[in-house]
Amino acid sequence: MRLKDKVAIITGGSRGIGFATADKFLKEGASVVLAASSQESADVAVDKLKEKYPNAIVAGISPNLASMESVRKAFKEATEKYGCVDILVNNAGISENTSFMDYTEETFDKVMDLNVKGVFNTTRVAAECMVARGKGVILSTSSMVSISGQPSGFAYPASKFAVNGLTVSLARELGPKGIRVNAVAPGITETDMMKAVPKEVIEPMIERIPLRRLGQPEDIANTVAWLIQQPKHVNVNRIEIMPVSQTFGPQPVYRD
């Protein structure tokens, strides 16, 4: 149990990559606080994990990640109960496929508020405890479309490009304080949103992948756990988890 006695907060932890990461961390002995968009979603996810790991410490919170005040309040309650956060996983995010000429300020703000401002807020709050102790790990979910772009819904790749910049910059700034800052950039992964993509769109994508399958949330969770467990002196800014189908131009919109 390589994460025994570690406290982790995982945003977007009620489903997909976030839920798989929570599952992996619990298996490795961590105490996990998962954040979801609603307390109901958080509670459902916690119940599932408790059924699988009855002796584990797992709890759910539902702060408004776009609000520093809300994040600070929720994190304070969690750390007072479970201890200072050792690991922060910024996984919450939204995607959409609005064409650029139909974009509104409200649509743009909705994506940026969660995907960028939310990452800033959680990282800023969690880093206070980490800096005070001189150790910690912050890991964010980026995306391959931050590199390749996508044919519509430009705010999503733009937001993930911002996550890349935040990761590289904070790795340099917080590294000397004992804090590792990393990111993973998944390719096409079979999450809830991908399951809604029509079969005629999915099948050609799968045909271009050597293993003939989409990435699974567990694939990303395993990579996240591997990064978390690296020695303090090892700092990888970003790992790209990329099916071949994403190496040649933009692909349909998906959600990590």
Active site residues: 156
Nearest to 21 by CA among 12, 96, 72: 12
Q: How far is CA 53 from CA 24, 32, 82, 98, in A?
A: 11, 11, 17, 40
